[in-house]
Amino acid sequence: MNKYVSLSAADAKNIARDPMLVLAVFGPLILAVAIRYGMKILSGWLHLTLAFDLTVYYDLILIEALLLIPLMLGVIAGFLMLDERDENLIAYFAVTPLTKSGYLLYRLSSPVLLSAAYTVFFVYFTDLVRVPVAALLPLTLLLALQAPVVALLLLAFAANKVEGMALSKGIGVTMAAPLAIYFAPEPWSWLASVLPTFWIAKAYWAGMEAWSGGTFFIYLAAFAFYSLLAVWLYRRFEQRND
């Protein structure tokens, strides 16, 4: 346990030195406060001045915001691991009592747990949309899975932190998937199914409706997509570090 405490203390120092990482850690809290207290004001202003009903888009706003949480936390984990790889610390950890598997468990489980906690907090604190518990539980698991996928993506394809920064900006393209589902008619919206976030957004809207065989299929497909993607990225990471 002491080895994980020491690593956590070192992480806190590294994050505190980087304003971007600090913002990513506290970003979900800032976003939650902004939505809770700003969305109703904005909605009322738009209704009075432009006769525009923003409330019909609350579902879309919520899922877009929720998708940002594991993205930010995954980027933090990825950047820390890129730094440690550049300094050959991953090889060092492999021959310590921590071991390489223990190091990876710590690095990838931390954003998973934080993403899950932030997701539940965000949904109930903002109170933007009432999400049933039956829909929130699998949604939370899917969002938690996205965090290590983002981290592994950076490790698998970025040679250093500079490339990781550029790649993390490219990951933002995946935020377009919920927009495709919401605005594009069937079956055209399925063109976005190559993006991982498509499956989380699809599962969110499926869970908000009455459960059916189709709902179960969407959840199963989403978990399968993320599991296979995580395994593939992990193997790419292993190859890069051999």
Mean pLDDT value of segment 184-211: 90
pLDDT of residue 67: 96
Mean pLDDT value of segment 76-102: 79
Phi, psi (deg, nearest 5) at residue 95: -105, 10
94's CB contacts (< 8 A; 6+ apart) are 100, 103
Domain coordinates in residue numbering, the chain: 2-241
For residue 4, pLDDT over 70 is answered with no
pTM reported for the whole predicted model: 0.89
Please state, rounded to an integer, the average pLDDT across all residues of the chain.
Answer: 87
Position 55 confidence tier, pLDDT thresholds 50, 70, 90 = very high
Q: Distances in Å between the alpha carbon of 171 and those of 48, 98, 192?
A: 36, 31, 14
Mean pLDDT value of segment 210-233: 88
Position 242 confidence tier, pLDDT thresholds 50, 70, 90 = low
pLDDT of residue 86: 81
